[in-house]
Each structure stands twice: as structure tokens, then as C-alpha cells.
Amino acid sequence: MSYSSVFTALITHFSHDKIDYNALSLLIDYQIESKVSGIVISGSTGEALSLSDSEHLELVNYVTSYVKDTKKSNMKVVVGIYASSIKDILHKVSC
């Protein structure tokens, strides 16, 4: 088995019960500088369970826009989606 790329599972920084986008941007910049192939947000680190649907969507929109606007990287973004039913997952995917 061989692996040809690295994806980093990022933590979501919080400050005063809100997502700390400045800290998140610094973390994303570090991943770009380290030349990782992609990042995973709201994935295996568990914070998705504590985000509301609107916070989750805001996080996804911020990160995807930030990576796209950086233009230093072809980094891919993988988004974790957590829900208690298939119906809820399909709703989140369609947002």
C-alpha cells in the first residue's frame, strides 16, 4: 500500500464560545506552507457535534473561501458531517 498525499484533520479554535477565525486562518496558512494536500474540517476531532447547523455552514463557507482566495495552494477541503439520521445528513449536504 502506498500513500501519495497528506490530509490534516484540523481542530476548530473557539474563543468566548465562538469560532476563532483568526486562529483558524493561521492554522490553515501553516498547512499551506507545509504543502499538505488537503485539510479535514469538522471531522474526526469532534467539534461538529457542538456546532449548530448555522455555525457548521459558516465554518464550511469560511474555510472553503479562505483556501480558494489564498491562491497559494491546490489544497482540497474535506468536510465532516454529523447527524442522527440520513434525512438530517442529506439536508446538511444540500445546504
Compute the 3-state secondary structure of the chain and give helix, strand, coil in percent, each to the nearest 5.
45, 15, 40
- Residues 13, 27: contact at Cβ < 8 Å? yes
- Residues 59, 41: contact at Cβ < 8 Å? yes
Per-residue pLDDT of the chain (95 residues; tens, 9 = 90+): 566 788 999 999 899 989 999 999 999 999 999 999 999 998 867 777 788 888 988 999 999 999 998 876 788 999 888 877 888 878 777 76
Report d(CA 42, CA 63) in Å as an integer: 11
Nearest to 48 by CA among 19, 16, 6, 90: 19
